[in-house]
Amino acid sequence: MSAAPQFHSLKVIDVRKETDEATSLAFEVPCGLGEAYTYSQGQYLTLRADIGGEDLRRPYSICSGVDDAELRVAVKRLPGGRFSNFVNDDVTTGDMVDVMTPLGNFYVPVDADAERNYVGFAGGSGITPFMSIIKTVLRHEPKSTFTLFYGNRTISSVMFREALGELKDRYMGRLRLFHVLSDEVPETELFAGLLNAEKISELLDSLVDVAATDHFFICGPGPMMEAADAELKSRGVDAKRIKLEVFGTPAPHASAQPKAANGKDTGPAAKVGVILNGVRTDVAVPFEGTSVLDAALERNLDLPFACKGGVCCTCKAKLVEGEVRMDINYGLEPEEVEAGYILTCQSHPVTDTLIVDYDDR
């Protein structure tokens, strides 16, 4: 069991332009918070800021390795992305930013004796968690290998290009790195085009022994992730060997229940006991409409959340009693659902009473 994630205000100690469209931020972790911000490779941080009077939160993958002695995330500018534009335009060294303690499951625990083969498919800013994973795994598992296929439009839009080159030199023979470019013609035809189903299939046929690969990691645009996941499964790869990190936040699920003119849900409600930091608060949550998370936030409970789209798992909690239905779940592993974990931003009561524990993660 681990405590509910919490925000702390951290000082930005370095701002680095990774490409014209992406910036990375390193944070100072004060004495006393070192343990809270200890992370596993591939995890993410949720940043929070008041932008235009609105409390906005976004999850960003950590790009530092666990031995890098820094805590760094990378943020790519998105068209119309209020948070990503704020980071790329306004955040400077010395600023204080609210940063949630690390979360995420996009990793396999390292094992110094393991002799594993890993394969990754990254697209655009989906490279970020791979920086952390590759650095950590190749350092801590001296007999393991990593093959990375990284899709971009052009070579100038490649994030961490230099750092990837350095890693390739350092781990010659154990890191294979293949850039796949859609808007430029590389020397080899195999590496030209989009990372779509056809290209992924070609790359696997030519360069990967699928049966001898222990774990596959996929992070990038939705269509690429779906294509890679489907292709691997069609080749008999068990879902347990495939890790997906979805960070294109889908729109929050629309409420099926009409609300009253004052914006409040109408209709019957369940009694939901919300446990946070050892304290239980009872909240009325309608069977239709507002989610468990939103109903509890309306009661001013300081609950963890980021995307509200069923993706990031920041709002994960243990359902101790009762039953819920989730609108969508892109984030929880099947074993977690079986163990009773729910995404509270997507959950609606099915039974008259629920107990939801945010302290049990």
Which residues in this chain contact ligand FES in the complex, by CB under 6 A? Answer: 305-315, 331, 343, 345
Q: Which is nearer to ligand FES, 152 or 346 (CB)?
A: 346
In angstroms, give the least distance from the CB of 42 to ligand FES.
17
> Coil, strand or helix: which one is 69?
coil
CB of 199 to ligand FES, least distance (A): 30
**What's the closest the beta carbon of residue 4 comes to ligand FES, in angstroms?**
13
Nearest approach in angstroms of CB 85 to ligand FES is 21
Q: Kindly state the DSSP code that residue 310 receives in the 8-state scheme.
A: S
Could you tell me the CA-to-CA distances from 299 to 76, 262, 273, 281 in Å, in that order?
Answer: 34, 16, 12, 9
Nearest-angstrom CA–CA distance, 314 and 342: 11
300's CB contacts (< 8 A; 6+ apart) are: none
CA–CA dist 24, 16 (Å, integer): 5
| Least separation in angstroms between CB 306 and ligand FES | 5
Closest to ligand FES by CB, 175 or 342? 342
CB 192 within 8 A of CB 185: yes
Q: How far does Cα 310 stand from its chain's mean position? A: 11
Alpha-carbon gap, residue 13 to 92, rounded angstroms? 9
Alpha helix positions (H), the chain: 82-90, 128-140, 161-170, 197-207, 222-234, 292-298, 334-338
Q: Which is nearer to ligand FES, 180 or 293 (CB)?
A: 293
Among residues 213 and 344, whose Cβ is nearest to ligand FES?
344
Shortest distance (Å) from residue 254 CB to ligand FES: 15
Q: How far apart are CA 292 and CA 276, in angstroms?
A: 14
Which residue lies nearer to ligand FES by CB, 312 or 356? 312
Minimum distance from residue 114 beta carbon to ligand FES (Å): 31
**Comparison of 228 and 315: residue with beta carbon closer to ligand FES:** 315
* Least spacing, CB of residue 133 vs ligand FES, in Å: 21
Report the alpha-carbon distance of residue 89 to residue 139 in Å, rounded. Answer: 34
Nearer to ligand FES, 195 or 313 (CB): 313
- Are 268 and 350 within 8 A, CB to CB? no
Can you tell me the distance from the alpha carbon of 151 to that of 158, in angstroms, rounded to the nearest whole number?
Answer: 8
The residue (of 202 and 298) whose beta carbon lies closer to ligand FES is 298
